[in-house]
Amino acid sequence: MQVSGQKIVVLGTGGTIAGTSAQAGDNIGYTAAQVGVAQLLAAVPGLQHAAGGAELHAEQVAQIDSKDMDMSVWQTLALRCAQHLQDPAVTGVVITHGTDTLEETAWFLSQVLDVRCKPVVLTCAMRPATALTPDGPQNLLDAMAVAAAQGARGVVSVAAGEIHGPRHVQKVHPYRVHAFSSGEAGPLGWVEEGVVRLVQDWPLAPNPSALNAFKMIANAPLWPRVEIVLNHAGASGAMVDALVRDGVQGIVVACTGNGTLHHALEAALLKAQDVGVRVVRSTRCAQGQVLPKPGDALPDSQGLSPVKARVSLMLDILQGQSA
């Protein structure tokens, strides 16, 4: 069955979902990003049915292990998504991605794409395509069901039967198939036998200034340099001082607890801020967020994890440069 005129685009970027190993039982000694996205789709029976009969269009945007994700792949991915989303025949976009940096890509795309009326659904796998029990095919089926769901919108991630919004989703386990969580916020819903059951609304549309970011990233020749440093027992300011000497433009600090910092690291960060480096405090705690206090000298990440705060800070600096 094919619904005439409706299309779901599947953009491949690599990851374990496209990984292969020499031994079928080997779930860790494999190579990610080996199987093309068209081949992945062809191997899943019932995919077009899960897509509500829409025509499926596969496109290989990259073929990488997502630990190697970089800004140029993000730029290409955002541009391909935007172009397909503008096509009235396209009802949604599915992206196959590695699990390791999926949450960063999800947050990035949620900040630069106009997804007010259509969904962009990231999916992945923890077991390679050659595993005895690969999780990729079911995740693809579930992602397709979400992309085809009535009213679906925003950037969401689908894995292990759960649907996660971009703000809270986080990889929380390096091995288990159930590797993602939205922490205290919980998943937006689930996919059960091809049916989407939501308990929260689809993600909010980004604010208009975030949408402006798309125009900038489309042309950005050079991305701002933003690094992440960690507070820990015995922390010093040495790393921050070195980064400033090296021309860093932004630093996200993964603080202890409620945004606290070793006094030596704090002194170096304040000095960095004084010379124009943008500094943002996040927390290294797995749940919760930094609660700001009046008079805080360093701004907080407004609930974003360190890796997502880095994405937002890069976009913010880009916007500042073009203003």
- Of 45 and 174, nearer to ligand SIN (C-beta) is 174
CB of 133 to ligand SIN, least distance (A): 15
Strands 154-159 and 278-283: unpaired
User: Can you read off the two tokens belonging to residue 112?
Assistant: 């630069």
Residue 55 in the binding site for ligand SIN (CB under 6 A): no
Task: Please name the helix (run of DSSP H) or strand (run of DSSP E) that holds residue 33, with its range, or none.
Answer: none
Q: Binding ligand SIN by CB under 6 A: which of 8, 9, 32, 277?
A: 32
Among residue numbers 86 through 105, which ones bind ligand SIN (CB under 6 A)? 98-100
Q: What is the C-alpha to C-alpha distance for residues 323 and 321, in angstroms, rounded to an integer? A: 6
Residue 277 backbone phi and psi in degrees, to 5? -80, 135
Q: Which residues are catalytic?
A: 16
Q: What is the C-alpha to C-alpha distance for residues 155 and 203, in angstroms, rounded to an integer? A: 7
Q: At what angle do helices 102-112 and 208-219 cross, to 10 degrees?
A: 110
CB of 168 to ligand SIN, least distance (A): 19
Residue 134 in the binding site for ligand SIN (CB under 6 A): no
What number of chain residues touch ligand SIN (CB under 6 A)? 12
CB of 44 to ligand SIN, least distance (A): 17
Residue 16 in the binding site for ligand SIN (CB under 6 A): yes
Residue 106 in the binding site for ligand SIN (CB under 6 A): no
Q: What is the C-alpha to C-alpha distance for residues 22 and 7, in angstroms, rounded to an integer? A: 35
Radius of gyration of the chain (CA): 20
CB of 173 to ligand SIN, least distance (A): 10
Q: How far is CA 98 from CA 56, 78, 160, 224, in A?
A: 21, 16, 14, 24
Q: Which residues form the interface with ligand SIN (CB under 6 A)?
A: 14-16, 32, 65-67, 98-100, 124, 126
